[in-house]
């Protein structure tokens, strides 16, 4: 347990070194604000891969006039909601519709934007309206007003709902023909279609709602007051209207297309435009993998050794730890550590720290299992012979058993490194900007999901192939 505490402490201080968007050394109060980075024109990455949009500009301008700093934490919509609820962030601005149900959990600002829900289909679709949906499937994005609206009318119109975590997958489900339509915010769909999304809107906006800045119920009231006051000032001095026009007007769409330095509809264009952010995302993935594997190895070796000690309690403890952390899905463990633990303790956990602890516990449980298995695979007569020669248990283990057991474990260690590398992709759910999250952000701007995911798949395959070759070299050397 002391070793585990030391591991967590080490990772905590390492995580504090990880920079996040908008962090500045300042004496002014800094608030951490969560947002959904795949929700243009409210939040998205521009052609320079900098976060822009109505929500970002409003938040920064309000912070400027009210005298505070903001640290934008880019996560998905659901992750943003959970981060506010757990106290991991101070507030969220992510095109969140104010509803009576949400008011039970959040305190909202005065509305900063009004929009309705529309339905979109493929350009050549036979679906012309809601009456044509009977017996068909429609796609929605989880946690959104579009999803709420679709679920409220599905029985009336006789359609089924399929849910996705991000807009790109929802749109692609319609474009591929798996679903006949999708429901989304009218401003978001209109913006997407104007910038190249191959869908068309076939209904008028309905279920009109107001967007609001949200904080946890009863918390951060000072921040909420500052947002309201700042929004009032922006509307009075004309800044608000300029921001809305900047991102929704026809001139804004034309300007965005003109500013694009390359054509992001081609493979070469996507690579040229996003090379630096892909490299940065890969670097974060490798960094997470290395730190996670080191700590998982420490944790796994300790737990594995507990499983072979001549002590019933130690063996039982080892078996329990392995059972729990191997049995939990990685995504559940990540969300529990990042959002669940702060709810229980009241203390924030940086996303990097939560991610590394998740990898250390999950991968460490697997390492513990094969460390225990490697030691137990050495013939029991070896230990008996060593003890009969007068060697104590510890020395017999170190001098006789481990040299043979390690030879059996090394290939499994390398294989676990490969598994850990792939598992880092799941950590995008808590907002870590590794390779998978980087891909989501790129797709939110260029809507080229097939090509971008193809690029990321190739990157993963190259790295995994190199690690597999390394594993075979190590195995051959050990066999000699």
Domains of the chain: 21-112+212-259 (3.40.190.10), 114-209 (3.40.190.10), 267-479 (1.10.3720.10)
| Cβ pair 434, 277 in contact under 8 A | no
Write out pLDDT tens, residues 432-478.
888 888 888 888 777 777 889 999 999 999 998 888 887 777 777 76
- pTM comes to 0.70
Residue 310 vs residue 334, higher pLDDT: 334
Report the candidate in 180, 174, 177 with the shortest Cα–Cα distance to residue 132.
Answer: 180
Three-state secondary structure call for residue 309: coil
Tell whether the torsion through CA atoms of 62, 209, 97 and 142 is positive or negative: negative
Write out pLDDT tens, residues 98-132.
988 899 999 999 999 988 899 999 999 999 999 99
DSSP single-letter state for residue 434: S
Three-state secondary structure call for residue 111: coil
Give me the pLDDT at residue 408, please.
Answer: 65
Half-sphere exposure of 412 (CA within 13 A, CB side): 20
Residue 50 above 90 pLDDT? no
Tell whether the torsion through CA atoms of 21, 27, 32 and 38 is positive or negative: negative
Average pLDDT for 167-190: 89
Residue 258: other Cβ atoms inside 10 A:
7
Residue 252 above 60 pLDDT? no
Report the candidate in 130, 118, 134, 120 with the shortest Cα–Cα distance to residue 181.
Answer: 120
Cα separation, 192 vs 210, in Å, equals 20
- With tokens 């912070």, the residue in question is 63
- Strands (E) located in 106-265: 106-108, 113-121, 137-141, 160-164, 181-185, 200-201, 206-211, 214-216
Confidence of residue 8 (pLDDT cuts 50, 70, 90): very low
Cα separation, 388 vs 62, in Å, equals 77
Confidence of residue 374 (pLDDT cuts 50, 70, 90): confident
């Amino acid at each position: 347990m002391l070793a585990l505490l030391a591991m967590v402490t080490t990772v905590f201080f390492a995580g504090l070194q990880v920079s996040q968007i908008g962090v500045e050394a300042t004496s002014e109060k800094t608030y951490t604000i969560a947002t959904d980075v795949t929700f243009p024109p409210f939040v998205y990455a521009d052609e320079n891969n900098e976060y822009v949009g109505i929500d970002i500009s409003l938040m920064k301008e309000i912070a400027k006039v009210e005298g505070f700093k903001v640290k934008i934490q880019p996560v998905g919509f659901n992750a943003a909601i959970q981060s506010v609820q757990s106290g991991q962030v101070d507030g969220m601005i992510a095109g969140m519709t104010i509803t009576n149900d949400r008011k039970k959990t959040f305190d909202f600002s005065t509305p900063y934007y009004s929009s309705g829900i529309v339905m979109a289909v493929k350009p050549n679709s036979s679906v012309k309206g809601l009456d044509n949906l009977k017996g068909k499937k429609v796609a929605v994005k989880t946690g959104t007003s579009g999803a709420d609206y679709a679920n409220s009318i599905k029985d009336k119109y006789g359609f089924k709902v399929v849910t996705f975590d991000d807009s790109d997958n929802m749109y692609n489900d319609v474009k591929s023909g798996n679903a006949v339509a999708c429901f989304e915010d009218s401003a978001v769909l209109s913006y997407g279609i104007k910038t190249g999304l191959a869908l068309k809107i076939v209904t008028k906006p309905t279920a009109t709602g107001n967007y609001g800045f949200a904080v946890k119920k009863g918390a951060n009231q000072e921040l909420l007051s500052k947002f309201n006051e700042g929004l009032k000032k922006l509307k009075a001095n004309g800044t608000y209207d300029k921001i809305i026009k900047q991102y929704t007007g026809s001139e804004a769409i034309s300007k965005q297309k003109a500013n694009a330095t390359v054509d992001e509809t081609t493979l070469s264009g996507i690579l040229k435009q996003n090379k630096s952010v892909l490299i940065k995302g890969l670097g974060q993935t490798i960094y997470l993998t290395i730190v996670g594997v080191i700590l998982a190895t420490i944790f796994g070796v300790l737990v594995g050794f507990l499983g072979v000690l001549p002590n019933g309690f130690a063996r039982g403890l080892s078996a329990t730890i392995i059972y729990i952390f191997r049995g939990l899905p990685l995504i559940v463990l990540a969300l529990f550590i990042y959002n669940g633990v702060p709810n229980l303790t009241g203390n924030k956990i940086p996303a990097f720290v939560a991610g590394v602890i998740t990898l250390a516990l999950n991968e460490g449980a697997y390492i513990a299992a094969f460390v225990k298995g490697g030691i137990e695979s050495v013939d029991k007569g070896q230990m008996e012979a060593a003890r009969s020669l007068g060697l104590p248990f510890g020395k017999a283990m170190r001098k006789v058993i481990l040299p043979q057991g390690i030879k059996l474990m090394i290939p499994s260690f390398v294989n676990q490194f490969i598994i850990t590398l792939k598992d880092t992709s799941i950590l995008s759910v808590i907002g870590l900007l590794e390779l998978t999250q980087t891909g989501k952000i790129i797709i939110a701007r260029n809507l080229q999901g097939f090509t971008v995911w193809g690029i990321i798949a190739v990157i993963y395959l190259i790295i995994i192939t190199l690690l597999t070759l390394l594993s075979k070299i190590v195995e051959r050397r050990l066999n000699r």
